[in-house]
Structure 1
Amino acid sequence: MLQRIRVAALAVMIGAGALVALAPSAATAAPPAPDIARVSISPSTPIDVTGGPVTATFSFLTKNADTAEFQLKAPGDVSVHTPITLTKGSAFGGWTKWTGTKEFKSSDAGKWNWLALAHGSGGDKSATGSFDVVKKLDTGIVRFDARPNVVDKGDLVRVSGQLRADGKGYAGQTISITFRERGSSTYREVTKVTTGGSGWFGATVRADVTGRWRAEFAATAAAKGSVSDAELVVVKRGKIDSKIVAFRAHPDSAGKGDKLRFTGALVADGRGGVAGERVAIFFKAAGSGRWEYVTSDVTGRHGRFWASAEAVTSGWWRAVYAGTRGVEGSVSDADWVKVNQPAPPPSVEKADTRLIKFNAYPEPIKRGKYLKFKGKLQVDEGSWEGYSGKVALFFKPLGSKKWEYVKAFWSRDSGWIFAKVKAWDSGHWRFVFGGDEDTYGSSSRKDYVRVKR
């Protein structure tokens, strides 16, 4: 009996050994397949290139991979993906990080596709996706007007204008009509309208107090915001009306650059001439629908006022009184002045110029530190040659539409310009050459620099 048990145990041991011999060893197991995870894009999408070129960073993780690729396909590009250069990072937890960059410009706007690839002895792994590069449209509200300019309390006023984007009418957009009461610093929304096929809009509003009206377009994912000029509407109220009488702009005909004189008197019912009140002089150029403020004067004895301005172009002049407590505002009749333009100077053969290789550096820069600039001014003398001239440095703060003059520098005989100024705010920089008696002016490209606080 004991012998049979020993023999059975030996058979089990031999059988187990046979099973162990048949099982594959670790050295001959199939290699694991690669994997891809955490594909990310910085800055987050959509990538906004409205303010200038943006460098995006692409990163992802791979596991069980010897090499990796990251490819991009441009909008509308039916060709193969274009690879970007990757940098291999340190490994952690079996995962390896890969990183690459690409600069996107305004011409790159549209939907891009990406493809991430991991290659290993266990095979290949891929991941796909897409992202958007956007450039917002430049917008502006033009020809904004509020009519009539003087109304009784509670009367209706027609406000209208046109929203344009990149020089064309912008249809189907929401416009807010806002109002700021005289004496207040805050605009409040009164109503909203939608632009028509050519960007035109209009609304009828009720005027209860004197103040300024304007139109506002809030920024969207596709376009920048914009605000119109403000239009003053004087609301007459109370029992005392004012009137501007005997207003005149003279002489009736003048040469460009001559001095124009404006006279008139401000009177109020039952009080005669009103002294100590400010009367503004406005001008509307021929062919324009917009009145622009030019100058003002404070009324003297008997309400009389005198003012002067330079004659620039033919158009209408009028005086506007905004009113005060107990006295309503008023607007004079318009007076036409013809301005004779000087004959154009004889044409002079001038040479073209160009500003190249402009760069603002370092970037980014700490606030208050010196920002350096370089560029090259050249003149076309059959071939492009260096030129010595006075070049101005201009700056446009981030979010602003206006270029501001900073400082002027002279280029060397070789054409090279080197300059430096302290940087206070983020924005765009550029060189501008105004030209001279022998050459036409030119401007460099703009360069964005971020200022760190």
Structure 2
Amino acid sequence: MLQRFRVAALAVALGAGTLVLAPTAATAAADPVVTRVGISPGPPIDVTNGAVTATFRFATKGTDKAELQLKPPGDVSVGKPLDLTPTKDGDWTRWTGTRSFDSTNVGKWSWLAVAGDASRGGTFEVVVKKVLDTKIVDFDANPDFVDRGDLIKVSGRLLADGKGYGGQSVALTFRARGTDAYRTVTKVTTGADGSFSANVRARETGWWRAEFAATSAAKGSVSDADRVDVRRGELASRIAGFDARPEPVDKGDRLTFTGALQVEGRGGVPGERVSIFFRAGGAHRWEYVTSDVTGRDGRFWASATAQTSGWWRAEYAGTRGVRGSVSDADWVRVDQPAPPPAKADTRLIKFNAYPEPVKRGKYARFTGKLQIDDEGTWEGYRGKVALYFKRAGSHKWQYVKTTWSNGSGRLYTKVKAWNSGRWRFVFAGDEDAYGDTSSSDYVRVKR
């Protein structure tokens, strides 16, 4: 009653003016509304004959934002949101999204539609009404005769009811000569046509085969076995093309050492450590300086600071089944440097490594720009630029190749990508300019 008197008094005080009051609860915005989700084709979703794309539809009122979460069978975490397309229909907004299901998705799924404070949930099933017969064909472990530790290629094809069965896990197993049990060496996923392959190291003579474990959609199967014989004799190695450069070199400048480690019957071998040793002129003792791990084709690259004239050589300690070796020695004269001339600053910009991801064995491409500071103005500069690579999980950058920028400073080169990792350009500088290093760019390599 007291409140009505206050309102009346205010109206009298305002005269002909307008009295504006806050909206009542009846005129406030309505709570959001969400309808039940419709699924097409209607559940259960049958994936017996392959993948099926299902469409999810629902409508909301009172909000312009909505989310549809799908949760796989047995998953207790928050469901993954589906990409939705909205369509306005008067006061309602209609939402549509799609998802593909195959035989790896069999089971009871949960859905939850959320719009503001409103939500609605439910379940649906993905089923296989027929269990497929599978068979592994064209299985092969190649080559049949290898040295211990060599890579062999194990491959084949998984069929289901006579057709390629893609997206399935196949175990590659091995039984050593003189044993009865197969053990799993690695697992691979079949391609769209059911094919699979992997490179594995042969450590001992025995039989290889592929195994597909039964699923709710398909019966299990095992391939024929294929024998690989492993030789155990020690192989000779050599360090070819060892070179220490430049020669002569000024004291305090960097020397680079290159060459390739080769093993009898294998050619260049990657992943082996090569050490660099130095013996000063007039001395009798070789001293360790640095080392590098061989890359593709067995090539290595290392560097060290030149201090005095003397001999340099590379040494490989060997490994099980491979004898060590020592390169020819290379003499380098070290001079006292002349007073350094005035140099200009440089910068490497716009470095880009692409595509990302890149398929293993395909070309990765690299662009960038080398510029020099010309009295406060950055100009394109022609220079010799090195490409470096750091494999994922490693802390060491490895030299890959050298290229040149053009007169505008633009850089472009390409190499085949074999491992995921970071790439960058390095300009070591020259008599007119200081060096610089670009930013790095990560490229993932997929198989």
Which TM-score applies when normalising by structure 1? 0.31
- Bigger radius of gyration, 1 or 2? 1
Which TM-score applies when normalising by structure 2? 0.31
